[in-house]
Chain A
Amino acid sequence: EAGVAQSPRYKIIEKRQSVAFWCNPISGHATLYWYQQILGQGPKLLIQFQNNGVVDDSQLPKDRFSAERLKGVDSTLKIQPAKLEDSAVYLCASSPPGTANTGELFFGEGSRLTVL
């Protein structure tokens, strides 16, 4: 079974530029998550989708971050314009049906963003 796929693995941009990350969850997983992991910290949830609907985006900085999951499968996270403090690893995760609130997540390898 294929795991959670993310791209790109690494991205370096200058502040005020834009960047987009892509995630394809495990087939059949209805719930998709985007986490931000700053170096030395635990992951912080940015947004949670259930199919193509948003369940929780309370910690998403909506003035610069956006995310979509139009067909309820893959998802894109965009940052525009980027700030220095956005340097982090962006983790995508998914969970099987019925487990969205039980914490059993399957993570991708992450996309490491460096903002100069």
Chain B
Amino acid sequence: AQTVTQSQPEMSVQEAETVTLSCTYDTSESDYYLFWYKQPPSRQMILVIRQEAYKQQNATENRFSVNFQKAAKSFSLKISDSQLGDAAMYFCAYTTSGSRLTFGEGTQLTVNP
């Protein structure tokens, strides 16, 4: 069974600084998808960024980028120029064809002004 591990229950960052959230996963598949989802307090979860395993290039969405290390089964999220609105719970997630989306336990990010 696939597992997703987020080893940082909580992280904090100063506004305008950069923070990296860690995620590791376990799979025997060669083709799969990885995601970071953001869940603000009392608001719906939204997709932040998506990475397809067959693509070597790391995905980037504005201030959000990933460091995808396929051999190490590592998928970290870097948030640059952190803003107060980035404060949320961040979930790493994995899926492959025919399987359900599996989430990690989440990392609570606090942004300090």
- A interface, CB within 8 angstroms of B: 3-4, 40-45, 48, 56, 91, 93, 101-105, 107-110
Contacts and interface: CB of A to CB of B under 8 A. Distances in A.
Contacts of A93: 45
A40 B105 contact: yes
B101 A103 contact: yes
B43 A103 contact: no
Interface in B28-81: 33, 35, 42-47, 50
Contacts of A40: 105-106
Nearest to B46: A107
A53 to B, nearest CB: 15
A91 B106 contact: no
Given A41-B106, A42-B103, A105 B44 contact: no
B44 A103 contact: no
Nearest to A48: B100
Interface size classification for chain B: 20 to 34
A55 to B, nearest CB: 9
A101 B68 CA distance: 20
- The listed residue with most B CB atoms (<10 A of its CB), out of A41, A42, A101, A105, is A42
A92 to B, nearest CB: 10
B33 A42 contact: no
Contacts of A107: 44-46
